[in-house]
A and B are shown apart, each in its own frame.
Chain A
Amino acid sequence: MKSRTKERLVWTVISILVLVYALFPVASILATSFKEPSDLTSGKFLPTNWSSVNYQEILVGDAQELFLSSLWNSIGISLIATFIAVVLATLCAYAIARLDFPGKKLILTTALAVSIFPVISIVTPLFNLWRNIGLYDTWPGLIIPYLSLTLPISIWTLAAFFRQIPWELEQAAQVDGATTWQAFRKAIVPLAAPGVFTTAIIAFFIAWNDFVYGISLTSTEAARPVPAALAFFTGASQFEAPVGAISAAAIIVTIPIVLLVLLFQRQIVSGLTQGAVKG
């Protein structure tokens, strides 16, 4: 009994330490986002006066155009990149999990190689290439490189997940009187859905969080995503740091992610443990 209480105490302390380590920056940004510009250098953690001036600036004020257009870009580009990645990765992972074909290993290793390839080293050639073929500062110009980030991890996660599905179910359905398509739709799809869903969320995060491609391959509001746009915020005057506005924007950008995780945390956890870990 005693050692059990002690063990629990140790775990609690460790959990608190980790939580503080992970959440302190977020709390700091949250606090900063409510500070008035004059308050920024006060050295205090909490704002002296809680004000929404920073939020007003990015949502309805001077920075509105910069922020809202980039928010729209981010949402659009990330969703499209996620969608394409998940569709392609599903087909690919299905083949990898189900079929035995030459080059199966090669596909998986290539995917792995692509995902560990440093982004920064291909950004310069890509910049030149995109300018020559007219993809620079367009949505497709970002979606394509994002696919190179999201596809490999999607393929790996989904392949691992699909391997867990007992394919006997498909055969059982066929014996039960289903056509191949019915067997796939009624027995396999419901089981594969959580995995596909988890993969989609992970892919979305990756695309949403990218900075290097976002800042290098765009130049205007036409395609610039939020993480890049934040770097272009300026203060009200040139002597004023835009820290408050950036913090406010960072909080707004984080909200969808937090919401997604909170809403689907059970699916994400079960998806991750079923697919990635066990596979």
Chain B
Amino acid sequence: MASITLNHLVKQYGDGFPAVNDVSIDIADGEFIILVGPSGCGKSTLLRMIVGLEDITSGDLLIDGQRVNEKAPRDRNLAMVFQNYALYPHLTVFENIAFPLRLGKGKHSEEDIRRLVTDAARTLELTDHLERKPGNLSGGQRQRVAMGRAIVRQADAFLFDEPLSNLDAKLRGQMRSEISQMQRRLGVTSVYVTHDQTEAMTLGDRVAVLKKGVLQQIASPRELYEQPVNLFVAGFIGSPSMNFVPATVSGNVLKTAVGDIEVDSRKAAAIEGKRLVLVGVRPEFFEDASLVDEAKLPHGSTFTAELTHTEWLGNEQYGYINFDPDPEVRSLLDGLARDMDADELRPQIVVTLDAASRIRGGRPAELWLDTRKLHLFDPETGENLTRDAAAGAALTEEANAARAEEIADARGRDRANV
């Protein structure tokens, strides 16, 4: 078990392109860190720098306070699970898991190896498959073998490189919870790369959002969701993603395509002097006005809009409102879409409605918008003008406390079982 410190890490390729640019992260012992971002954001490169498969151009990488920049991968005592599992196809499952143990010649007796491998196999429910070759296993089983290889090592930290991206959706959910439970049980420091934000939100103690090699924000999933630091993080985290509605400011009123919105004094102070802002609205901030509690109504504003169509999903439904932004804002939205891997950001607002709502597309509808949780972004810099740093920090603090508790619980249970 170890802590990992990334200190101003930079990775520059031969052509001078910085794949990772000045990233600093402190990973505490036993913490589960997620690196997330659109493809090409440098998250995998960063992981490979930690494990030693990529050279570090500048900056320091410390494991347990020791600088390991120049150490070969095998001397770092880290275990890695690769995207396509990287199982040795010519070896049986048993030998695959035993591979790292066999490399340390004489370090483990044959008996030791057998015991460690069968233990790991039991944890991962692979006991029946030990004599099979990886080629005959299902995707989920291969995934578990790859994890078994990490577990037997008793490595200082686990590194995962998009380990679930080759699995189908159902299995992914199952493996996700298995990884999460295993991490807690072993209490091992983990760094996990993914582009899937469900994995990021559910697994991570803290999530680091990267864009073009630059760390945007690192915080607990809840803080990222509720107090994003800029447009990019706000748009990247959450599904369906946050709506960005351009608004012109006049005093404490925002004039938008979905009507005028009045904001409180704190927000009004934050945007003072700005002519144009982007209003960040999560889809669930909207509701069918006829279904909103009388008591809640005054906390938001009611407006009339025409939905183009709705999608009913059973537990909720999505509605879509088109709006026509001015060209200046349009180019800004397009740029943002490119950053996030999408072709274009449609000037469209997605609203989440209660499943019971009878609102249908093509007809004007009364919608209600909860204005308390809005975020206002500077359209030029993308900065979140209304971020409440203290509230955000409190959320991450909460998550840290929860983690410590869970690890203690898991260890307590383990002891009880033994």
Bound form: Cα–Cα A191–B134 in Å: 14
State whether B53 touches A191 (Cβ < 8 A).
no
Q: Is A173 on the interface with B (CB-CB < 8 A)?
A: yes
State whether B153 touches A176 (Cβ < 8 A).
yes
State whether A175 touches B103 (Cβ < 8 A).
no
What A residues does B72 contact at CB under 8 A?
Answer: 174, 179
Determine the residue in chain B with the shortest Cβ distance to A188. B88
What B residues does A175 contact at CB under 8 A?
Answer: 51-53, 73-74, 78-80
Q: Is A209 on the interface with B (CB-CB < 8 A)?
A: no
What A residues does B127 contact at CB under 8 A?
Answer: none
State whether A190 touches B90 (Cβ < 8 A).
yes
State whether A179 touches B74 (Cβ < 8 A).
yes
State whether A172 touches B90 (Cβ < 8 A).
no
State whether B74 touches A178 (Cβ < 8 A).
yes
Interface hits, A138-196 → B, CB 8 Å: 166, 168-169, 171-179, 182, 186-187, 190-191
State whether B78 touches A177 (Cβ < 8 A).
no
Bound form: Cα–Cα A254–B317 in Å: 74
Q: Is B149 on the interface with A (CB-CB < 8 A)?
A: yes
Q: Chain A nearest CB: distance from B282 CB in Å?
A: 38
Q: How many interface contacts (CB-CB < 8 Å) are there between A and B?
A: 56
Bound form: Cα–Cα A132–B89 in Å: 53
Bound form: Cα–Cα A249–B52 in Å: 60
Given the contacts A177-B103, A178-B74, A169 and B79 also touching, CB distance less than 8 Å = no
Main secondary structure of the interface of A (DSSP, over half): helix
Q: Chain B nearest CB: distance from A273 CB in Å?
A: 15
Bound form: Cα–Cα A172–B100 in Å: 10
State whether A174 touches B74 (Cβ < 8 A).
yes
Q: Chain A nearest CB: distance from B408 CB in Å?
A: 30
Bound form: Cα–Cα A179–B104 in Å: 11
State whether B53 touches A174 (Cβ < 8 A).
yes
State whether A168 touches B104 (Cβ < 8 A).
no
What B residues does A168 contact at CB under 8 A?
Answer: 82-84, 86
State whether B90 touches A191 (Cβ < 8 A).
yes
Determine the residue in chain B with the shortest Cβ distance to A182. B103
What A residues does B100 contact at CB under 8 A?
Answer: 176-177
State whether A172 touches B86 (Cβ < 8 A).
yes
Q: What mask results when residues 51 to 82 of chain B are scored 1 for a CB within 8 Å of chain A, else 0?
A: 11100000000000000000011100011101
Bound form: Cα–Cα A169–B87 in Å: 7
Q: Chain B nearest CB: distance from A209 CB in Å?
A: 32
Bound form: Cα–Cα A190–B80 in Å: 22
Q: Is B99 on the interface with A (CB-CB < 8 A)?
A: yes
Q: Chain B nearest CB: distance from A127 CB in Å?
A: 47
Residue of B53, B86, B90, B149 with highest tally of chain A CB at under 10 A:
B86
Bound form: Cα–Cα A165–B248 in Å: 57
State whether B89 touches A176 (Cβ < 8 A).
no
Determine the residue in chain A with the shortest Cβ distance to B91. A190
Given the contacts A166-B86, A176-B99, A178-B103, A171 and B53 also touching, CB distance less than 8 Å = yes
What A residues does B86 contact at CB under 8 A?
Answer: 166, 168-169, 171-172
Pick from B52, B80, B84: contact of A166, CB under 8 Å: B84
Bound form: Cα–Cα A186–B86 in Å: 13
Bound form: Cα–Cα A182–B74 in Å: 11
Bound form: Cα–Cα A173–B88 in Å: 9
Q: Chain B nearest CB: distance from A176 CB in Å?
A: 4
Given the contacts A171-B53, A191-B89, A177 and B82 also touching, CB distance less than 8 Å = no
What A residues does B74 contact at CB under 8 A?
Answer: 174-179
What A residues does B149 contact at CB under 8 A?
Answer: 176
Determine the residue in chain B with the shortest Cβ distance to A178. B103
Q: What mask results when residues 187 to 213 of chain A are scored 1 for a CB within 8 Å of chain B, else 0?
A: 100110000000000000000000000
State whether A187 touches B103 (Cβ < 8 A).
no
Q: Chain B nearest CB: distance from A258 CB in Å?
A: 29
Q: Chain A nearest CB: distance from B411 CB in Å?
A: 27
Residue of B73, B100, B153 with highest tally of chain A CB at under 10 A:
B73
What A residues does B80 contact at CB under 8 A?
Answer: 172, 175
Determine the residue in chain B with the shortest Cβ distance to A189. B90
Bound form: Cα–Cα A278–B82 in Å: 24
What A residues does B82 contact at CB under 8 A?
Answer: 168, 171-172
What B residues does A166 contact at CB under 8 A?
Answer: 84, 86
Determine the residue in chain B with the shortest Cβ distance to A180. B72
State whether A174 touches B88 (Cβ < 8 A).
no
Determine the residue in chain A with the shortest Cβ distance to B80. A175
Q: Chain B nearest CB: distance from A186 CB in Å?
A: 8
Q: Chain A nearest CB: distance from B116 CB in Å?
A: 14
Q: Chain A nearest CB: distance from B372 CB in Å?
A: 48
Bound form: Cα–Cα A179–B72 in Å: 9
Residue of A171, A172, A176 with highest tally of chain B CB at under 10 A:
A176
Bound form: Cα–Cα A225–B258 in Å: 90
What B residues does A173 contact at CB under 8 A?
Answer: 88, 99, 103
What A residues does B51 contact at CB under 8 A?
Answer: 175
Q: What mask results when residues 242 to 271 of chain A are scored 1 for a CB within 8 Å of chain B, else 0?
A: 000000000000000000000000000000
Q: What mask results when residues 107 to 119 of chain B are scored 1 for a CB within 8 Å of chain A, else 0?
A: 0000000000000
Bound form: Cα–Cα A172–B72 in Å: 13
Bound form: Cα–Cα A177–B150 in Å: 11
Q: What mask results when residues 210 to 222 of chain B are scored 1 for a CB within 8 Å of chain A, else 0?
A: 0000000000000
Bound form: Cα–Cα A174–B82 in Å: 13
Bound form: Cα–Cα A217–B53 in Å: 52
What A residues does B52 contact at CB under 8 A?
Answer: 174-175
Q: Chain A nearest CB: distance from B415 CB in Å?
A: 30
Q: List 20 A-B pairs, Cβ < 8 Å.
A: A166-B84, A168-B84, A171-B53, A172-B80, A173-B99, A173-B103, A174-B52, A174-B72, A174-B73, A175-B51, A175-B52, A175-B74, A175-B80, A176-B99, A176-B103, A176-B149, A177-B104, A178-B74, A186-B88, A190-B88
Question: What 3 pairs across the A-B complex have the smallest Cβ distances?
Answer: A172-B86, A176-B100, A190-B90
| A residues adjacent to B (C-beta < 8 A) | 166, 168-169, 171-179, 182, 186-187, 190-191
Known: A168-B82, A171-B82. 5 other contacts (CB 8 A): A168-B83, A169-B88, A177-B153, A187-B88, A191-B90
